Each structure stands twice: as C-alpha cells, then as structure tokens.
Amino acid sequence: MNTPHLRIEVATIDSFILRLFDRIDEANMPWLMAAGTRLRQSFGEHLVDLVPSYTTLLLHYDLRHLAPRQARERIAEALRDLEPEHHASGRYHRIPTWYDPQVGPDLEPLAQRKGIPVAELIKRHSHREYQVFALGFTPGFAFMGLVEEALASPRLATPRKRIAPGSVGIAERQTAVYPVASPGGWNLLGRSPIRLFDLELEGYSLLKAGDRVRFEPVDHAEFVRLGGDDTPLETPQ
C-alpha cells in the first residue's frame, strides 16, 4: 500500500511544498484530498492557496498572521494520523470526443506503432476512467491518468506550433484535453466540444484535481451538434 511520508520543503518566503509521495500513483489522490481538507480547516482564513499535484501540495499562507514556524506546526498537527478519503470527493465528468484523423492526426500513427486497429485504440482509451492529478501548463489544462501502459507514447520530438482547443491527446501514461489554443507535443487522438476553461466557471476550470473523467466517443454529427469545431489541424509540425 502506498502510504504518505510527509516532508516539508520551503517554496517561497510564505509557502511550503508538502511532499507526501515519491512516485505518481492513482492511489495518492485520496490521501492528497484528505490532507487538503484538513489543511483548509486548520489554516482557515490564513490560507491563501492550496494547490494539489501528483505527489505534493503547495501551501501558500498569510505571512502577516502566521510566522513560518507557526505554519509548520499547523501543518504537522493537521496531518497527524492522516487517513485517506474513502469516498470520491471529486466530480465525475464524461467528455464527448470525436476520435478522427481530421482532428487527431496521431490517431492512426499511434495505432500502427502499437500494432492495433484504430477502433481498438479508441476503445481502450475511452473505456478507462482517469483521475485528474493536477492543473497547469495553460489555464484549465488537466493532467489525467493513468493511461494503460500499452498505449503510453512519448511526446512528439518537435511540438506543434498550434493545437486547437478541445484536442485530446496522450503523453507517456497521461492524457489531457487542450483547453485553449497553444503549442503542444502530445499525441492527438481527437477533439472534444466541451469548454474546459471559461471565466464563467467556478475557478475558471471545468476540471479540478481529484475529479474523475471518462472520454465518450461521438460521431461527427454529434460533435458538431454539441458545438465542436471540425476544422482540420494542420499536419506539418
């Protein structure tokens, strides 16, 4: 069983990195979510921000009211005898996805490299439930995993200059949806019409650490009906 071992590292003058694990594992999240709950309760209004990631929590506190020593004491007390959350604390999302070479130029090449039909690759990617580990890179970009090991694929040697919003991709054993247009080097399988980053959303992001996600294959007509942009991605990198 993967159990936490707390190490407190200084990040800035008013923040700590709380390292609970050394390796990425889906089993980490119940511990990280439980730690987050306790820390929010302990720090209360003196907590500025708390950002979970794969193995850590970044805790930013109000230095005007707490000295670093006091913050360390609160952390140690809050996480004493920590137990994982045994219920799913995050939300569950189904992300409609049009898997097609027109918008997923790496779909066929990846299937060829793995020695499986395209339909099998789609089935294996979409039949798995993923956990949101962290947000970063661009606003609303959720790093999710773990992709089954047989489908894992390294990032492209040369990133594309522009990835369309909604593009669904794989990098190593992670999967993600590009929330906004940006450069990127993930292997693109398709595209979703769902808006992941929106100023009208709470926290501006549809997905949050601890959420669970499953990709739901849809055909072209349904993708367009849901508001998807089927403009082909330029294949030159």
The pTM for the full model equals 0.84
Q: What pLDDT is stored for residue 235 in this prediction?
A: 57
DSSP state of 202: G
- Mind giving me the DSSP string for 125-140? HHTS-EEEEEE-SSTT
Q: Which two tokens stand for residue 80?
A: 């004493």
Cα(146)–Cα(213) distance, integer angstroms: 11
- Report which of residues 33 and 168 the model is more confident about: 168
* Average pLDDT in the chain: 92
**Residue 188: what residue type?**
L
Q: What is the largest CA-CA distance in the chain?
A: 60
Taking only the tens place, the pLDDT of each residue in 64-109 is 999 999 999 999 999 999 998 776 668 999 999 999 999 999 999 9
**Do residues 166 and 182 lie in contact, with contact meaning Cβ atoms separated by under 8 Å?**
no
| DSSP conformational letter for 2 | -
pLDDT value, residue 136: 85
Q: Which pair of structure tokens corresponds to residue 165?
A: 């919003």
Q: Where are the domains of the chain?
A: 7-78, 92-225
pLDDT greater than 90 at residue 176: yes
Where helices occur in 50-157 by DSSP H, the ranges are 68-78, 107-114, 118-126
Amino acid 177: pLDDT: 97
Q: Is the pLDDT of residue 237 over 70?
A: no
Hey, which of 18-22, 26-30, 205-209 has the most confident mean pLDDT?
Answer: 18-22
CATH superfamily entry for domain 92-225: Cyclophilin-like (2.40.100.10)
Q: Spell out the CATH class of 7-78.
A: alpha beta
